[in-house]
Structure 1
């Protein structure tokens, strides 16, 4: 642990918000509408439950093991060897996630902005910036998010206002036309998979300068994420209707559709800026978590020592992990929801249950 590094409660809340909401602004409406169709906006409500579960589990474990990350206290709960095996799994999970995030960024930039540039250029430029931020420490990442996230929202709010002119409430009908099951599918699969990313608290809470505010700040962040995603999904459905579930970047299509002729056109350029800022925040936090996890598992004194090789390794991983955007869409729709639920919700919950049982047995013996 680098105990000298600390982030404020505001920075933690913004980091949580930017990590979950940064890139889903473009992809999540389409993923949820694949299942729930015109009722995808209703799926946002039950999807929030996985976020509540992650916050409750991670803050409770942090209270029981103050100053320790999930990598460290899992060894105390499961024992040295089982805990290390879990830590190695989390290293694998974060490395794959980081490679896929980088590849997703590359696909988006190449498709919309730089179609003739080699894919590795988009990955390399993003990873260099993120690697520098991680090397400077979690405080710098927190300050960057504290500046960039409000800037991103300042550009996004006018775009949301412009969608009102193109909105058609009739596209939301019939409400619950196919029953409640599609709504739950849209919530549990893609919606829930993204909401439970709040389990990054397991790595960030030890750096919070006011641990008592952890639960309050996390709940405020979840509320902000809920409102943000609800507005994005709702406005997308109002403009695109049934087409939402057929598009990989449905909200980008909304931005291309709206606008004021002669005054505000080509608004997708702003969307690209929002995406790049979001990718920077998400990849930076993920790279930090990966470097911290490896340093704690293998006893490396300072995680900064491995940031450079990890950045290079991630570049190689991003080239290897996915071949095209169709594979990415398949991963986000069918693979990540199950992996995300097991890794980000089920395993921490099992850790909490095992720790609770061990504490009760210890008390009964004494």
Structure 2
């Protein structure tokens, strides 16, 4: 990885879309429907509106930074000590974020395909592949992303089309069986995972080529809209097939794939689809690890980012084995703790930076 790495605006939008959709498309339908029922898609739309507002803040900070690296303009705005104060929780939560995604991959494998395989073997293999991917650099990852994104979205669309014969519209009613409170709870969950996580892209946005910087806002908003539409389709499809069971069954898209049966010609395809969905987990983790390494290298003023790749991956691997090991603990974190943590560690520093840069801009014009 080199400091001079740059990608096109559309490539950055693909990375952004992959990061937001990656593991979320597999995980998010279950917790949303468990708290919001058939109104889960409304929760998602509310969270998407919050995501749009957060993206506006992120883009404002990026424009105010004038194309400089994120930590560089943060230091100039907040000073060195305050930069360390606000960025330390940012980096620490990123460690946990990377480990958490791989923990979810492990749970997915253990509950669906590799039930007898030890967790350390699954996580270790994944972190080795992820670290090698990150070591290849931002430009290589951006070129990989388009193909892998098509693979993931293609299989999601295939699942929703092949189970369309099982759709029952009546499962979508009533929309508000218990009022607005469960809808707001669902929106809180989706806000924390994945939309509040978009603030970590403040580290990558300065790597967009200068000649394409003017297009980045449009491309990121389109990517966010595509993400929201995909989530809504996944939630509606799961609800119309599984009904009330959607909130009880984890990995609802995988469960839908298990129901696909077409005249003994198309059946038992859930393993192929399961491995394709793993692509989303894997590449989201690679993007998050890349951002973490770039952030640490900038904070530590390192010239060679590659020195951090394997040590940081090793720390994240150890965290994935020791932080939380039961699915019930994971659900508690996703439903309650994670939105609060992402607000304090990801959103708050970027919003603070936006406020400071805004005041400085007003002072310069007055």
Q: TM-score category by the smaller chain?
A: over 0.9
Matched, 1:34 2:34: yes
Q: Which residue of 1 aligns with 2:342?
A: 340
Task: Answer yes or no: is the 8 Å Cα contact 1:42–1:183 preserved in 2.
Answer: yes
Superposed CA RMSD: 1.8
Query: Which whole-Å CA distance do the structure 2 matches of 1:323 and 1:158 have between them?
Result: 32
Matched, 1:168 2:168: yes
Task: Answer yes or no: is the 8 Å Cα contact 2:201–2:291 preserved in 1.
Answer: no
Task: Answer yes or no: is the 8 Å Cα contact 1:134–1:307 preserved in 2.
Answer: yes
Which sections of structure 2, spanning at least 5 residues, go unmatched?
Answer: none
Query: Which whole-Å CA distance do the structure 1 matches of 2:362 and 2:10 have between them?
Result: 35
Task: Answer yes or no: is the 8 Å Cα contact 1:88–1:297 preserved in 2.
Answer: no
Q: After superposition, where does 1:29-68 map in structure 2 within 5 Å?
A: 29-68=29-68
Query: Which whole-Å CA distance do the structure 2 matches of 1:266 and 1:161 have between them?
Result: 16
Partner SS for 1:323: coil
Query: Which whole-Å CA distance do the structure 2 matches of 1:92 and 1:263 have between them?
Result: 49
Alpha-carbon spacing, 1:327–1:69, altered in 2? closer, same or farther (3 Å) = farther
| Deviations, residues 176-211 of structure 1 (Å, cap 9, x unaligned) | 232233222211223453123222320111111121
| Deviations, residues 233-262 of structure 1 (Å, cap 9, x unaligned) | 110111111111222322222222333251
Matched, 1:87 2:87: yes
| Deviations, residues 133-188 of structure 1 (Å, cap 9, x unaligned) | 11111011111111111122222222110121111111111122322332222112
Task: Answer yes or no: is the 8 Å Cα contact 1:155–1:270 preserved in 2.
Answer: no
Taking structure 1 as the reference length, the TM-score comes to 0.94
Match for residue 234 of structure 2 among 232, 235, 238? 232
Task: Answer yes or no: is the 8 Å Cα contact 1:54–1:344 preserved in 2.
Answer: no
Alpha-carbon spacing, 1:174–1:64, altered in 2? closer, same or farther (3 Å) = same
Q: Which residue of 2 aligns with 1:263?
A: 265
Taking structure 2 as the reference length, the TM-score comes to 0.94
Is the deviation greater in 304-313 or in 220-229? 304-313
Cα deviation, residue 3, structure 1: 4.2
Matched, 1:290 2:282: no
Task: Answer yes or no: is the 8 Å Cα contact 1:36–1:185 preserved in 2.
Answer: yes
Q: Which residue of 2 aligns with 1:313?
A: 315
Is the deviation greater in 342-351 or in 11-20? 342-351
Query: Which whole-Å CA distance do the structure 2 matches of 1:8 and 1:243 have between them?
Result: 42
| Deviations, residues 306-363 of structure 1 (Å, cap 9, x unaligned) | 1011112221111111122221121111111221233333332222112212333455
